[in-house]
Amino acid sequence: MSAVVVDQSKNGGTPTSDDLARAAAIKRMERREGWKRRLPVLPALIYTILVTQIPFLFTLFYSLTDWRIDKVEPRQFIGVENYASLSGDKFFRDAAWISVQMTVMAVLLSLIVGTGLAILLDRKFFGQGFIRTLLITPFLVMPVVAGLMWKLQMFNSTFGIIGWVMNGLGFDSIEFATKYPLASVVVVLVWQWSPFMMLIVLAGLQGQDQSVLEAARVDGASSWGTFRQITLPQLRPFLELGTLLGAIYLIQVYDHIEVIVGGQPGAKNLPFYIAQRSIGGGNVFGLASAYSIVVVIASIIIANIGLRVLSNLLEDNS
Amino acid sequence: MAEVRYQEASRIYPGTEEPAVNQLNLDIGDGELLVLVGPSGSGKSTALRMLAGLETVNMGSIWINEVDVTLKPPQDRDIAMVFQNYALYPSMTVGDNMGFALKQQKVPKAERAERVAEAARILDLTEYLDRKPKNLSGGQRQRVAMGRAIVRQPQVFLMDEPLSNLDAKLRVQTRTELADLQARLGVTTVYVTHDQVEAMTMGHRVAVLNFGVLQQVDAPKTLYAAPANKFVAGFIGSPAMNLFDAENVDGKPGIAGVAVPINDAVAAALKGQSLDKVSVGVRPEHLTLGTAGIEGEVTVVEELGSESFVHVRTDHRGEATNIVVRDRGETQTARGDRVKIDFDGPLHVFGEDGQRVTA
Ligand SMILES: Nc1ncnc2c1ncn2[C@@H]1O[C@H](COP(=O)(O)OP(=O)(O)OP(=O)(O)O)[C@@H](O)[C@H]1O
Ligand SMILES: [Mg+2]
C-alpha cells in the first residue's frame, strides 16, 4: 500500500520539510514491509537455484565442450560446434518428431478422457468416493510398473488381454507393442494421465456457481448447450493448467518407452535419444548436453504454443 | 400473459421430515405482482423454485395458464428468473447475457440484437453491452439480470430477493423502478423478499409464509390493518406491533393492569376463552402519551425527525415489558420520564388459537 499523502492544502502547496520527512519515513517503512515478505521465501529460492539453475549452467558449459568418455585429452571448449551438428542429425529430428506426436496425442487424449470422467463424477451418486479413488489409482502407479503391467498383461501376444480378446473375436493376436510402438506408449500415458486431468477438471466443475447453471436451464438451454456455452468457457483456465502441466511432464517421458518398446525407432523420443547418446552407451556428453539444452528451450516454446492454441479454440467456441 | 396457480403444492427435501413448503394454495392473477414474504427459512425460495421447475413438487400441482406444468422441465415453462446473486454468465458480455435465452430459441441474430438493444435502452445499459459482468457495479449487474428476464417477454417473471445485494439507497430507488417496469410490461410476477417494507410497497398482493405454511394473502393495506393471525401481526409493520399475551382485567383482556377497549362483538367472540391465553396487539401509531392509561417509564427515545418512537417500560403480568409509542417529531419526552399511555385507534385481538377475532 502506498499511502504517501502529503497534504498540500496548507501553506499554498509547498510541502514543508516536515511533510518530506514523513514521506521518507513512509517509504522506509514500505521497503521494510517488502523485505518482511521476501525473506521467508529466500531459503526456498536459494535451494531452487542450487539444485536446478546451477546444474543447468553446468550443462550449458558442457554443451560448449567436446567432452566424451572415449577421448584421453581433457575436454576442450569448442564453441557452438555441438549445436551446429544438431541440424545434420537425422536421428535427432526423428526423435523430435516422435516427441511432438507423443506429447500432443497423450495430452489431448488424456484431457478429453479426464474431462469425460470428471463430468460423470460431478454428480451425486452412491459410492462416489470409492469410484473416484478407483479412477485415480492409475496416476499413483509408478511409471515403470505401469509400463510393465501393460507390456506383459495387455499388449503381450501370448498372455496379453488384448490378444486374448482378439482371439476371442476370431482375429490373430499380434505383438501390439512391436507393431504399433508409438500408439502403445500413448495408450499407457493416457491411462496414467487421465486421472490427473480428471482431478483438475473436477475442481473446475465443482467450483462452478450452481445458480448460473440453473439460470441457463431456465433460459431454455439444453444440457449439451449449457455445457458448451457456460461450463466449457468457465473450465478454460483449468483445461489450460492441465495442458501445461501435462505437456511439461509428458514431454520428458522416459520410463514407459524404456519398458514397453525399448529402443525401437518408432517410439524413441528426445529424452530417450539423449539418454542413449550419453549415459546410455553413446557417452558423448558434450553433444548430449547441447541436445538437452535445445529440448528445454523447445519444451518451453511448445508448452506456450499449446496454451495459445487451446485458448483460441475455446475463444471461438464461446 | 398468464395466470399461475399453486394447488396443494408441497416440497419435501430429501433427507428432511418437515416439508419446506407445505400444501401451498395460491392463485396469482394475470399481470399481478405477488410478493412472497416471510422470515429466513420460511420456504419462499423453495416455493419460487417449484414454480421455476428447479425443485421437484412432491405433492400437489402447479399450473401456468391452465396448463399443468408440474412435471415440465424449466426450459419448457416459458418463465424468466432473476436470482439473488444475479447468476450472470461470467464468460459472456452483457449483450450476450441478455440475448442468451433468445439464442436458445433460435431467434435470428438481427432480431436478437434489436430486442437486446431495446431492453438495454429501458434499463440504461446501452453503453455496457460489450462489457463482461465482472466489470460492472452491483447495481448494473442487477439491471443486467433484469434485462436478461425482460428480453424474453416470458409468461411469468420470478424474482428471488433481486435487491438484497444493493445498498440501502439504491435498493429503495430500484424498488420503485422495478415496480414501475412491471406495471408497464404487465407481466405476471412472483417476487420473493424477506423485507416486509419491500413487500408492502411493491406487492399488489402479499403472501406471508412461515415454516412453509401460507399465513395470509391480501393487499398490503389489508395485511396491515387486519392481520389474520399473531404471526402476520408481528411480522408486518415497522416498528413492529406491540403484541402481548393479555391478562384478565375485570373480565376483559388487558395490558399492564389496564383493560383494552373492545367492542361488544369482540367480547362476545371471546366468551368462553381463557383471557390470559388470548393476545392483544396495538400498533405504535395507535397509542398516545396522555394523562390516563398504562403507566411506565421511558427507556429510549428514537427521534426520526418527522416522528419519534418512545420505548416505555411497564410492568405487565409481573414482568418488565417494553411498549413502543409513536410520538410527534421533536418530542419533549426524555429518558426517565414517567408517562401514561392511552389507546387511540384500532386494536387487534387474537384468540387462544392465535387467529384474529373479528369484530
Ligand atoms: N437443498 C436443500 N436440502 C434440504 N433442505 C433445504 C434445501 N434447501 C432449503 N432447505 C430447507 O428448506 C427450508 C426453506 O428454505 P428456503 O431456501 O426456501 O427459505 P427462504 O424462505 O428462501 O429463506 P431465506 O430468506 O433465508 O432465503 C429451510 O428450512 C431450509 O433449511
Ligand atoms: Mg431464499
pLDDT digits (tens, 9 = 90+) for A182-214: 999 999 999 999 999 999 999 999 989 999 999
Q: Which of A303, A195, A299, A318 is nearest to A240 (CA)?
A: A303
Pocket of ligand 1 (CB under 6 A): B 13, 16, 20, 38, 40-46, 194
Contact B82, B164 (CB under 8 A): no
Q: Which of B202, B198, B197, B236 is nearest to B216 (CA)?
A: B236
Separation between Cα atoms, residue A294 and residue A99, nearest integer Å: 13
Contacts of B80 in chain A (CB under 8 A): 218-219
Of A62, A93, A111, the one marking the end of a domain is A62
Residue located nearest, by CA, to atom 16 of ligand 1: B43
Report the pLDDT value the prediction gives residue A72, as an integer from 0 to 100. Answer: 67
Contact A260, A226 (CB under 8 A): no
Distance from CA of A197 to the nearest CA of B (A): 22
Q: pLDDT tier at A2 (50, 70, 90 boundaries)?
A: very low
The phi and psi torsions of A24 (rounded to 5 degrees) equal -65, -40
Residues A135 and A271 in one domain: yes
Cell 368462553, located at residue: B272
Contact A212, B54 (CB under 8 A): no
Q: Report the predicted TM-score, pTM, of the whole model to 2 decimal places.
A: 0.80
Asked whether residue A53 is domain-assigned, the answer is yes
Residues A57 and A100 in one domain: no
Report the pLDDT value the prediction gives residue A81, as an integer from 0 to 100. Answer: 84
B45-B47-B53 Cα angle (round to 5)? 95
- Domain extent at residue A202: 84-317
Separation between Cα atoms, residue A184 and residue A91, nearest integer Å: 21
Cell numbers for B203, please give them.
406487492
Strand partners, B6: B26, B62
Contact B215, B228 (CB under 8 A): yes
Question: How close is the Cα of B160 to the center of ligand 2, in Å?
Answer: 7
Question: How close is the Cα of B73 to the center of ligand 2, in Å?
Answer: 21
The DSSP bridge pattern shows strands B307-316 and B348-350 to be unpaired
Q: What is the DSSP letter of B355?
A: B
Q: How many folded domains does chain A comprise?
A: 2
Residues A28 and A95 in one domain: no
Annotate A34-98 with three-state secondary structure: HHHHHHHHHHHHHHHHHHHHHHHHHHHHHCCECCCCCCCCCCCECCCHHHHHHCCCHHHHHHHHH
Strand partners, B279: B245, B350
Question: How close is the Cα of B240 to the center of ligand 2, in Å?
Answer: 22
Residues A199 and A272 in one domain: yes
Asked whether residue A79 is domain-assigned, the answer is no
Cβ pair A214:B54 closer than 8 A? yes
* Host H or E run for residue B341: strand B338-343
Pocket test for ligand 1, best of B13, B36, B210 (most atoms within 8 A of CB): B13
Residues A92 and A45 in one domain: no
> Which residues, other chains included, contact A93 with Cβ-Cβ below 8 Å and sequence gap of 6+?
none
Contact B129, B118 (CB under 8 A): no
Say yes or no to pLDDT of A303 above 80.
Answer: no
Cα Rg of chain A, angstroms: 27
Residue B87: how many other CB atoms lie within 10 Å: 24
Report the pLDDT value the prediction gives residue A11, as an integer from 0 to 100. Answer: 54
Asked whether residue A186 is domain-assigned, the answer is yes
DSSP three-state, residue B347: coil
Residues A292 and A194 in one domain: yes
Report the pLDDT value the prediction gives residue A316, as an integer from 0 to 100. Answer: 57
Separation between Cα atoms, residue A208 and residue A205, nearest integer Å: 5
Contact B289, B340 (CB under 8 A): yes
Separation between Cα atoms, residue A210 and residue A212, nearest integer Å: 5
Q: pLDDT tier at A1 (50, 70, 90 boundaries)?
A: very low
Residue A248: how many other CB atoms lie within 10 Å: 15
Q: What is the DSSP letter of B72?
A: -
Report the pLDDT value the prediction gives residue A13, as an integer from 0 to 100. Answer: 61
Residues A161 and A24 in one domain: no
CATH code, A137: 1.10.3720.10
Q: Which residue has the higher pLDDT, B301 or A263?
A: B301
Residue B257: how many other CB atoms lie within 10 Å: 13
- C-alpha dihedral (B143, B144, B147, B148), degrees to nearest 10: -140
Alpha helices in chain A (DSSP H): 17-38, 42-48, 54-62, 81-86, 90-121, 128-140, 143-149, 161-168, 176-179, 181-206, 210-218, 223-226, 232-250, 255-260, 270-277, 285-317
Strand partners, B341: B289, B294
| Peptide bond just before B14 cis, omega within 30 deg | no
* Host H or E run for residue B184: helix B168-185
* Host H or E run for residue B62: strand B59-64
Cell numbers for A91, please give them.
536421428
Point out the residues of chain B with pLDDT beneath 50: none
Say what angle helices A90-121 and A181-206 make with each other, to 10 degrees: 40
The phi and psi torsions of A265 (rounded to 5 degrees) equal -65, -25
Distance from CA of A221 to the nearest CA of B (A): 6
The ipTM, to two decimals, is 0.86
Asked whether residue A74 is domain-assigned, the answer is no
Say yes or no to pLDDT of A311 above 90.
Answer: no
Q: Which atom of ligand 1 is nearest to the CA of B209?
A: 21
Q: Which of residues 159-198 of A touch B (CB under 8 A)?
A: none
Distance from CA of B91 to the nearest CA of A (A): 6
Contact A208, A185 (CB under 8 A): no
Question: How close is the Cα of B212 to the center of ligand 2, in Å?
Answer: 12
Contacts of B104 in chain A (CB under 8 A): 219-222, 225
Report the pLDDT value the prediction gives residue A6, as an integer from 0 to 100. Answer: 47
Residues A45 and A182 in one domain: no
Q: Which of residues 235-254 of A touch B (CB under 8 A)?
A: 236
Cell 496414467, located at residue: A192
Asked whether residue A294 is domain-assigned, the answer is yes
Residues A11 and A140 in one domain: no
User: Cα B116 vs. chain centroid, distance in angstroms?
Assistant: 31
Asked whether residue A215 is domain-assigned, the answer is yes
Contact B204, B193 (CB under 8 A): no
Report the pLDDT value the prediction gives residue A248, as an integer from 0 to 100. Answer: 83
Asked whether residue A76 is domain-assigned, the answer is no
Separation between Cα atoms, residue A301 and residue A309, nearest integer Å: 12
Residues A162 and A250 in one domain: yes
Highest mean pLDDT among A80-84, A241-245, B265-269, B277-281: B277-281
Residues A203 and A313 in one domain: yes
Say yes or no to pLDDT of A12 above 80.
Answer: no
A11-A12-A16 Cα angle (round to 5)? 45
Asked whether residue A70 is domain-assigned, the answer is no
Contact B275, B247 (CB under 8 A): yes
DSSP three-state, residue B293: coil
* Averaged confidence pLDDT in chain A: 86
Residues A94 and A36 in one domain: no
Separation between Cα atoms, residue B158 and residue B80, nearest integer Å: 6
